Amino acid sequence: MRKHLVVLTGAGISAESGLKTFRDSDGLWENHRVEDVATPEAWHRDPHLVQRFYNMRRKAAAEAFPNEAHKTLAELESHFSISVITQNVDDLHERGGSSKVLHLHGELNKVRSVKNESLIYEIGDRQIEMGDLAEDGGQLRPHIVWFGEAVPMIEPAVEICRSADIFMVVGTSLQVYPAAGLIDYTPYDIPVFVIDKKRPQANLPSNIHFHQGAAGEVLPELKETLIQMI
Ligand code: APR
C-alpha cells in the first residue's frame, strides 16, 4: 500500500502565483481590514461590499496559474497517496493536478443560497451581485467560511490527518483555528515537514523538519527526500 502523505496548505503556497497572503501584507483591501469583509456581520452591514470583495478575489484567482509547489504535489501522486487539505479558496491545487483536495474554508468559484447552504452552484469566474438569486429565491452568497462561522469540513479533515504516514505544512501562519489544530490529530511518531518563508509562531512539535524558503523552490528540492522515505 502506498504511504499516505497529508499536506495542509495556506495562502503562502499560492503567493508565487501572485495571490496575496493575509498576514504578510498590510491586511487592507480598499481601506477595509480583510477581517471586516469576511464576517457574517460585514454581510449584514454591507453585502454589496462583501460581494465586491469576493468578485475581486474570484477574478484574481481565475487569472492566476498553479506554480511549482502546486505542480510538485501533483507529481508526487505517482509515489504517494496524497490528501491535500487547504485553507485556500482558490482552485490552484486542482488546476495543478492534485486529485484529492479538501477545502476547509470554501471555494471562490462556488456560491450558495442564503436560504439553503446545500444549494451550491459552480460559477467559474462569474461576478455575483445583490439580486442574483438561487432557485429557491435566496440571495447568492460566496461559498466561503467567514470568521465566526462553523467549519463543516473539519471533521473529514481530522479523519484524514489521523491516517497520515507523513504530514506536511506549506505556507500557513497557523494562526487560524480549527485548521491550525489539525496537526494534533496526526499520529505522534510520523515525520512532519514544515515549509514556509518564516517559521510559524505556532506550537509545533520540536521534531519537525523545518525548511525555510519559498514553497515553489523548496518543494521541488524536497521531492527526492520524500520519495526516499517510501
Ligand atoms: N512560500 C512559502 N510560504 C510563504 C510564501 C512562499 N512563497 N509566501 C508567504 N509564505 C508564508 C508566510 O510566511 C506565512 O507563514 O505563508 C504564510 C501565510 O500566512 P497567512 O497569510 O496567515 O495565511 P493562512 O495561514 O493561509 O491564513 C489562514 O486565515 O484569513 C484567513 O480564511 C483565511 O484561509 C485563511 C486563514
pLDDT averaged per 10 residues in sequence order, the chain, 230 residues: 97 96 77 86 96 96 98 98 98 98 98 97 97 98 96 98 98 96 96 97 90 98 95
Residue with cell 467560511: 145
Distance 136 CA to ligand 1 centre (A): 36
Q: Is the peptide bond before 178 cis (omega within 30 degrees of 0)?
A: yes
pLDDT at residue 207, rounded to an integer: 85
Q: Return the domain boundaries, the chain.
A: 1-19+66-105+151-230, 22-63+109-144
As annotated, the binding site includes 10-29, 54, 57, 87-90, 171-173, 215
pLDDT at residue 206, rounded to an integer: 87
For residues 57 and 20, the answer to whether their CB atoms sit within 8 Å is no
pLDDT at residue 28, rounded to an integer: 72
Give the CATH number of domain 22-63+109-144; options: 3.30.1600.10, 3.30.360.10, 3.20.20.70, 3.40.50.300: 3.30.1600.10
- Closest atom of ligand 1 to 25 CA is 21
d(CA 63, CA 107): 15
d(CA 47, CA 137): 17
Helices marked H in the chain = 12-15, 34-37, 40-45, 47-63, 68-75, 92-96, 154-162, 215-228
pLDDT at residue 69, rounded to an integer: 99
pLDDT at residue 38, rounded to an integer: 94
d(CA 125, CA 57): 10
pLDDT at residue 35, rounded to an integer: 77
pLDDT at residue 27, rounded to an integer: 67
Nearest-CA residue for ligand 1 atom 28 is 176
pLDDT at residue 24, rounded to an integer: 80
pLDDT at residue 22, rounded to an integer: 87
- Closest atom of ligand 1 to 10 CA is 26
Q: Known catalytic residue: 105?
A: yes
pLDDT at residue 126, rounded to an integer: 97
Distance 133 CA to ligand 1 centre (A): 33
Specify the CATH architecture of the domain 1-19+66-105+151-230: 3-Layer(aba) Sandwich (3.40)
pLDDT at residue 193, rounded to an integer: 98
Catalytic residue chosen out of the listed positions 105, 143, 209, 211: 105
Distance 172 CA to ligand 1 centre (A): 4
Are β-strands 140-144 and 106-113 bridged in parallel, bridged antiparallel, or unpaired? antiparallel
Q: Report CA dihedral (102, 143, 171, 80) to the nearest 10 degrees.
A: 10
- Closest atom of ligand 1 to 215 CA is 1
